[in-house]
Amino acid sequence: MFDLGTVPASGTMSGSRPACYPDALACASGPVRYFGPVTRLPDTAFPGTALPDYGWLFSRTRSGRARGPGGARALLDALRSPDTRFQSIRVIGTNGKGSTCAMLEAGLLAAGLRVGRFTSPHLHAYEERIRVNGVNLSPARTRSFIEWARIHAPDAAFFDLTLALACRVFAEDGIEVAVMEAGVGGRSDATQTLGNVVAVALTNADLDHTGVLGATVAQIARDKAGAALPGVPLLTTATGEALTVAREVAGEIGAPLLTPRTHSELFALPHAPWLEGAHQHLNAALAAATLRTLGHGGGVAAALNARHSVRLERLSVDGKTVLLDGAHNPHATRALALAVPHADVLLFGNLARKDTPATLAPLLPLTGVRVFTATGDLATPPQELAARFGGVALPDPAEALAHALALTPVGGTLLVAGSLYLAADVQARLDRG
């Protein structure tokens, strides 16, 4: 097991470091280039090749199915347990998982490892969810897996299928370490079934998915911290009640608990991360501590340089600044409001299953000029938000974006928030010009 007591001067824990593979991005000198999400290519991009049947895959909802790791385990067993052929770092938490995963990926690549990354949701293309050495999965491999699943696992749920595909790809491609983001929860999540987990990183725990994880922070924290495993380091930057629960659960399970208070040297940052906001400092500290604990402290600099789409992403449009952020629950928008004390216009949309009033509340003081839109059929009706909180309701995101930009003065700032899907939609529209 790891020596958790001291950190060498180099910033890494003791232990051997695998040799650098020539196809690893981090073998080049200088900071690791972070490959962000790519826009889904049109059918003509694959001449003579059928695209994957995404419609079938996306229709495999979990509605009516039991939650838990059982379904994913059955799929992995059918694939001869590919999850046991590489090490996994599980990343759990209410918010910050995606950013933490991006930093871990960059740091591990810089350490010379072959790295897999499994995250959700995707912004523009399904294959963003599964990456090998910083490159998205090819649609051809998605298509091949769907063909297998339609015959051998026709009733499996979407997330379980995607997790199984990721594990198969990682095993086939000789991945050494995979950064695995949980979907919802920890102990009750499909990723709980993964074998060969070497660290569990818990960002935080707050109110979200209350219908599934529980109505209180303590209940949610217990499920997320329940991802801990005996003898496997549980690292967390959680605070308050969530930290108290994590400490209790770690003790019950027998997992070493590492926090900024107990192991300050592990969580220390040499400088601020590239990603903006105090909340990203916490994510960066968690990523740095995880890398050092596993003996890859040499990758911390690259981790701090990692990018991640629609996390306070800044775009310039006709002399106006557009800030894109996927904050979609109260905990996330509170952090966003601290990072962005003022905006000239707010473009907001949120899913109806969220606590929309509480999610919107921290953003209301930023500006009185608000445009509400819909992020799909399951969105909170923008007309209701405009009537209650003041503003303009434009259900069509394209029309809403055009109006919000028109309201934003030259030199001013338009903040887009409330949903990852809205942020991705706006990003794609602005990228197209």
> Tens of pLDDT along 179-213?
999 998 888 999 999 999 999 999 998 877 767 77
Confidence of residue 340 (pLDDT cuts 50, 70, 90): very high
Q: Which amino acid is at 103?
A: M
Find out whether 371 and 347 touch, Cβ atoms under 8 Å.
yes
Confidence of residue 426 (pLDDT cuts 50, 70, 90): very high
Provide mean pLDDT across the span 293-308: 98
Multiple choice CATH, 25-304, 3.40.1260.10, 3.40.1190.10, 3.40.50.1950, 3.40.50.10490: 3.40.1190.10
pLDDT at 198: 98
Instruction: Tell me whether residue 67 is exposed, middle or buried, using C-beta atoms within 10 angstroms of its C-beta: 0 to 12, 13 to 18, 19 or more.
Output: middle
Nearest in space to 175 (alpha carbons), one of 233, 202, 135: 135
192-220 as b/e: b if 16+ CB within 10 A: bbbeebbbbbbbbbbbbbbeebbeebeeb
CATH class of 313-431: alpha beta
Distance CA 351, CA 240 (A): 28
Tokens of 23: 């196809």
Find out whether 203 and 196 touch, Cβ atoms under 8 Å.
no
Nearest in space to 179 (alpha carbons), one of 111, 244, 87: 87
Beta strands in 163-211 (DSSP E): 177-181, 197-202
3-state secondary structure of 235: strand
* Element spanning 3, H or E: none
Does the pLDDT of residue 260 top 80, yes or no? Answer: yes
Please state, rounded to an integer, the average pLDDT across all residues of the chain: 88
Distance CA 329, CA 354 (A): 7
pLDDT at 374: 96
Q: Looking at 207-211, 225-229, 408-412, which range is the least confident one?
A: 207-211
Domain spans in the chain, listed from the N-terminal domain onward: 25-304, 313-431
Q: How many CA atoms lie within 13 A of 168 on its CB side?
A: 22
Nearest in space to 165 (alpha carbons), one of 77, 65, 79, 275: 79
Provide mean pLDDT across the span 237-266: 97
- How far, in Å, are 8, 148, 210, 257, 329 from residue 205 at the CA level? 31, 37, 11, 16, 12
Q: Which residues pair with 379 in a beta bridge?
A: 351
Tokens of 125: 């293309």
- Concatenate the DSSP letters of all residues of 240-299 into one string: HHHHHHHHHHHHHHTPPEE-TTT-HHHH--SS--SS-SHHHHHHHHHHHHHHHHTT-GGG
Distance CA 8, CA 202 (A): 24
Q: Which amino acid is at 327?
A: A
Does the pLDDT of residue 399 top 50, yes or no? Answer: yes
pLDDT at 17: 25
